Amino acid sequence: MAALASGGGWSIDDFEFGKELGAGKFGTVYRAREKKSAKGYIVAIKVISKAELKGVGEHQFRREVEIQTRLRHPNLLPCFGCVHDDKNIYMILEYAPGGELYDALLKEGPFSEERSAKYMQDICHGLQFLRENSVLHRDIKCENILIGFHGELRLADFGASVKSNSARDTFCGTPYYHAPEMVEHKTYGHEIDAWALGVLLFEFLTGSPPFECENRVELYSAITNVDIEYPRTMERDARNLVSKLLVYEPSKRISVEAILIHPWMKRCLDTDAEGASD
């Protein structure tokens, strides 16, 4: 894939489009084959209408491309570049054959403790790297996480992301994953991504989000009151980790570094490693 990343100079005619992989707020993603090189690399191409990007959308898109093109990490989905024609802009992305984590959870979930811990480890490593580069993702959810060639997770869709060391107050993201400070329109920092990790881990282990309500008012009330009903089947240490992430006060949430050394994580990752070596 390195050859593709350094090739550049494409036009959209250099790609043969395949099936649709998914659609989002500002674009539709397709599987495609690159035709310039002899190897014919498989990529994902996000097609964005220029007309739909006018105004705020254009700023968000430029930010998304800048972050995803510049930052390289095993747990972030890379963008190799962009091409455009009169109507559309095309983001050339790495193809993740495992698809969206959301589809895997829907089809196979709940996940085992070992699988959940490995996925949490991957996401934490990606978020560590983003924080080191002063980037808030702001829309961590199963639909924005892809499964790579070797089963590793790749954070994707940086449309809501922002590069900043200061507190933010923009209302964005997905309601089910909103932290209390977002719901209450307060300023926030990297702790909102930690809250989203708590929601994810609950989903991994139960197959459902911790806050499920019929309308937005009830949902936001449950979030700000941290009104969670833990199933009896959730292991004690797993519940402890979730409860340390889903904390109303941002400063009291467990850090990404602390997640990685939490007893539940260490036990599950050690068990997974032992199983892999048998």
Catalytic residue IDs: 139
Nearest by Cα to 269 from 128, 103, 131, 122 = 122
Question: C-alpha distances in angstroms, 79 versus 66, 118, 132?
Answer: 9, 24, 19
The structure tokens listed for 74 are 């095993």
Nearest by Cα to 22 from 119, 103, 80, 139 = 103
